[in-house]
Amino acid sequence: MPESCEIICLGDIILDTYCDGLVERISPEAPIPILKVESDKKKDLGGSGNVARNITAARNKCHLISIVGDDNNAEILRQLCKRTEELTFDLVVDKTRCTTVKQRFVSGNQQILRVDSESKENISNRIEDKIFKRFLKKLKYVNVVIISDYKKGMLTKSLLKKIIDTCRVEKKIVIVDPKDKDFSIYSNANIITPNQKELFEATEPDLNVSDYSVEKLSKKIIKQYGFDTVITTRSSDGISVVNKNTKILHLPSRAKEVFDVSGAGDTVVSYIASGIVRKLSLTDSVKEANEAAGIAVGRFGTTRVFREEIENRINKNSKICKLNELIEQIKVNKYKRIGFTNGCFDLIHQGHIDYLKQSSEKCDFFILALNSDSSVRKIKGFSRPIVDQNERSEILAHYDFIDKIIIFNEKTPLNIIKKIKPQFLFKGDDYKISQVVGAKEIERWGGKVVLIKCIKGKSTSKIIERIKNGT
């Protein structure tokens, strides 16, 4: 890897592990569930490591600086870092501490227990000096420095002051993701990104939450600690931005469903930094980060959100994809509940929209297989479709409740269904389950056919008939 990088991420690295299984009974020894393990432990970069890997997912080069113990878990973290493209790293060994590990035991995508192994004592002056020297060595290559604080003892008050003061002199942007209730230790950072709970705990814990109170507290800490901007993540209430020039921005949440907030803050700070490096305005950077957070909270565990996914959400036409692209996206993102439907959707009407919206609400990732022009002709004759496949797909791509559109030429979508294996197969209630193409297949792998109640009297054929009759 070259020396050059665009972003330094400095902070507490964590090894996230997951043990998946089934809970079918309670222990006779104590009132606790028994987890029957079904898969080996999954291992991921957590803490500052998750920030770093999301920076690379946003297509930026990153250099990660952190501390580890002298143990096997440290070696696992090194290997995970090595496998992450566009990531270089300095993992400073501190023999007086253990590598931070969070072990999550999971059943049915729900955590039933978390076990933490960690040292939280402040690092020694010797280790601090070593970290600062490695930071200075890389500083000339970067535009932005992220401080990812998980309160594990690495980011001492003296180290933070040296880093922030140096960055101010060198005109580097410092973004802080805080964990300490005392925000004074981050004084003079350019941007601080607390979540709503952290903001209130650091200022006025008893104050009622509102847009106004978030603005008030943000202005207070800007004045008190010399920040330029406060970006507060607010879960279902979205993101609020307040800067010293009194510019205020409230963005609603972009999450379809909040499934797991683990690492959502990491995703936000990564995409804000990425936007700044790419010379986006702060507003556009935060909008992109908000989209990324909306994706992250819909998945289980800490996760990477790729820039292509953000672009897909922003550019509706990019929803239209090929089968191999769709399969790859499903493989990477491991969506909890995939829903699928198909149809011609010629002369789109109220009945279509109601049906698609109802279907989308019952899943996390909704796929529409659209009959191509040749496929429509096979089913409905040479007078159809009225609207060609490009127009139909482009119109449908602008509806937020559809995640992906794939155009197929066959008479039925059976081949697509077999390859993507959705959890839900949707069809109108004018069908019987036995008539639904793919019903047998989906039931075979534990999926479900769902018949959606349709608005009576709404159909493309009836619209065409009315046009012909002049009614």
CB atoms under 10 Å from CB of 422, counted, come to 24
**Residue scoring higher pLDDT (312 or 171):** 171
Domain match, 346 and 278 both: no
User: Measuring CA to CA, which residue among 149, 192, 187, 152 is closest to residue 168?
Assistant: 187
The pLDDT tens digits for 173-222 are 999 999 989 999 999 999 999 999 999 999 988 888 777 889 999 999 99
Residue 175 has phi, psi (to 5 degrees) of -115, 125
Amino acid symbol at 465: E
Residue 260 has pLDDT above 60, yes or no: no
**Does the structure show a pLDDT above 50 at 2?**
no
Return the percentage of the chain with pLDDT > 70, whole number.
94
CATH code of the domain in which 273 resides: 3.40.1190.20
**Is residue 376 located within the same domain as residue 439?**
yes
Supply φ then ψ for residue 243, to 5 degrees.
Answer: -125, 175
Q: Which of 91-95, 245-249, 325-329 is the most confident on average? A: 91-95
Distance CA 470, CA 451 (A): 33
Tens of pLDDT, residue by residue over 211-222, are: 788 999 999 999
In this structure, the answer to whether residues 309 and 329 fall within a common structural domain is: no
CA distance 151 to 155: 7
State both tokens at 166: 């140096």
Highest mean pLDDT among 157-171, 283-297, 381-395: 157-171
What's the domain range around 382?
319-469
Q: Identify the CA nearest to 279 among candidates 439, 48, 82, 60.
A: 60
pLDDT(87) > 60: yes
Report the predicted TM-score, pTM, of the whole model to 2 decimal places.
0.67
Question: pLDDT at position 340, please?
Answer: 97
343 and 284 inside one domain? no
Query: Vertex 265, ends 260 and 267: CA angle to 5°?
Result: 90
- 433 domain-assigned: yes
Q: Is residue 181 part of a domain?
A: yes
Report which secondary-structure segment, H or E, holds 21: strand 13-26
CA distance 188 to 174: 9
Identify the bridge partners of residue 8 per DSSP, sorted by sequence position: 63, 145
Number of domains in the chain: 2
What is the model's pLDDT at position 341? Answer: 97
pLDDT at 400 over 60: yes
* 136 and 284 together in one domain: yes
- Say whether pLDDT at 361 is over 80: yes
Residue 2 belongs to some domain of the structure:
no
| pLDDT of amino acid 262 | 65
Catalytic residue ranges:
266
Instruction: Report, as an integer, the average pLDDT of 257-261.
Output: 59
| Judgement on whether residues 84 and 221 belong to the same structural domain of the protein | yes
For residue 117, pLDDT beyond 80: yes
pLDDT confidence of residue 253: 78
Give the pLDDT confidence score for residue 205 in this predicted structure: 84
Give a yes or no: residue 434 inside a domain. yes
Strand partners, 30: none
Taking the C-alpha atoms of residue 339 and residue 337, their distance in angstroms, rounded to an integer, is 6
pLDDT at 442: 93
- Name the average pLDDT for the chain: 89
What local confidence, expressed as pLDDT, does residue 175 receive? 98
pLDDT tens digit sequence for 262-319: 678 899 999 999 999 999 988 889 989 988 888 887 776 677 888 888 876 666 546 8
Which residue has better confidence, 377 or 458? 377
Domain presence at residue 1: no
List C-alpha distances in Å: 190 to 49, 56, 175, 428.
22, 22, 6, 54
Contacts of 51 (CB under 8 A, 6+ apart): 9, 11, 146, 148, 177, 266, 269, 270
- Dist. CA 5–CA 138, nearest whole Å: 8
Instruction: Please check the confidence at residue 120 and state whether its pLDDT lies above 60.
Output: yes
DSSP reduced 3-state for 158 = helix
Give the end of a domain, one of 267, 292, 314: 314
Which pLDDT score is estimated for 314? 66
d(CA 301, CA 77): 17
Q: Which long-range contacts (CB under 8 A, 24 or more apart) does 303-306 make?
A: 303/263, 303/267, 303/333, 304/53, 304/54, 304/57, 305/54, 305/57, 305/58, 305/267, 305/271, 306/57, 306/58, 306/332
Q: What is the token pair recorded at 259? A: 């499934």
Give pLDDT, residue 296: 82
End residue of a domain, out of 314, 341, 370: 314
Looking at residue 160, what is its pLDDT?
Answer: 98
Which pLDDT value is given to residue 1?
Answer: 35
Let me know whether 418 and 303 are in one domain: no
CATH number at residue 422: 3.40.50.620
56 near 1, Cβ under 8 Å? no
Greatest Cα pair distance in the chain: 88
Answer with the residue of higher pLDDT: 73 or 108: 73
